[in-house]
Amino acid sequence: MKKTAIFYSFRSVKSQQQAKKIIKAIGVPVDEVDLDTITRDTFMGYDNYVLAVPTWFDGELPNYWDEFLPAIEGESFKGKRFAIYGGGDQKGYPENFVDGIGVMAEFLEDRHGKIVGMTSCEGYSFERSRAQRGNQFLGLALDIENQAALTKERIEHWGQQLQKEFK
C-alpha cells in the first residue's frame, strides 16, 4: 500500500489547523511529520506527500525548510508525488504571493518529483507569484489574512482532488 504523509511545523498554529482539515478532506490514513525534527530517512520513506510551505521574508521559505533542504538536495524523488499548500497574503505581498509554493515545487521538480494538487488562480488578486504556472498555482494557496472564509471550501475541494491524483 502506498504511504502518505503530511509535513508541517508543529509549532505553526496556522499550518497545523490547515493540516488537520486537509487530513480529513483526503480521507485516507496519513502520517503527520514535524518539520522541526525531520530527518532525511523519515522524509524519504513515503510515496505521497502533502507539504506545508507558507511564504516568509518577502518570497522566501520558512527557516525550518531552509534548514532541512540541504539534507535532501542530493536525492532523487522519482516516483513520488507532492502536493504543496501554504499560507500567503495577497494584499500585503502582491508581488510575492505564495512564492514559497513555487520555490518548493521547483526544488522537487529539479529532482524528478511530480507535483500534484495544482489549483486555479481564479478568485485571487495579486501581481506576481513564483507559484503561478499558466493560470494555475503549483499547489493550494491559503490566504487567511484576506480570504479566511474561503479556506474551508478550498481545502475540501483540494482533498477530493488529491484522492484522485495520489497513487
Q: Which residues bind ligand FMN (CB under 6 A)?
A: 12, 14-15, 54-59, 62, 87-89, 93, 96-99, 144-145
| CB 60, min distance to ligand FMN, A | 7
Q: How far is the CB of 23 from ligand FMN (least distance, A)?
A: 16
SS3 content of the chain, % helix, strand, coil (to 5): 35, 20, 45
Q: Which is nearer to ligand FMN, 35 or 80 (CB)?
A: 35
Query: 16 or 47, CB closer to ligand FMN?
Result: 16
d(CA 10, CA 14): 10
Which of 97/158 has CB closer to ligand FMN? Answer: 97
Residue number with CB closer to ligand FMN (87 or 159): 87
How would you write 24-73 as a 3-class SS string? HHHCCCCEEEECCCCCHHHHHCCCEEEEECCCECCCECCHHHHHHHHHCC
Residue number of the CB atom closest to ligand FMN: 87
| Closest CB 69 distance from ligand FMN, rounded Å | 16
The secondary element (H helix, E strand) that includes residue 120 is strand 119-120
Torsion of Cα atoms, 150 then 152 then 157 then 160, to 10°: 170
Residue placing its CB nearer to ligand FMN in the complex, 5 or 19: 19
Q: Shortest Cβ distance from residue 119 to ligand FMN (Å)?
A: 15
Shortest distance in whole angstroms from residue 131 CB to ligand FMN = 9
**What is the distance between the alpha carbons of residues 41 and 58, in angstroms, rounded to a whole number?**
31
For 25, the grid coordinates are 478532506
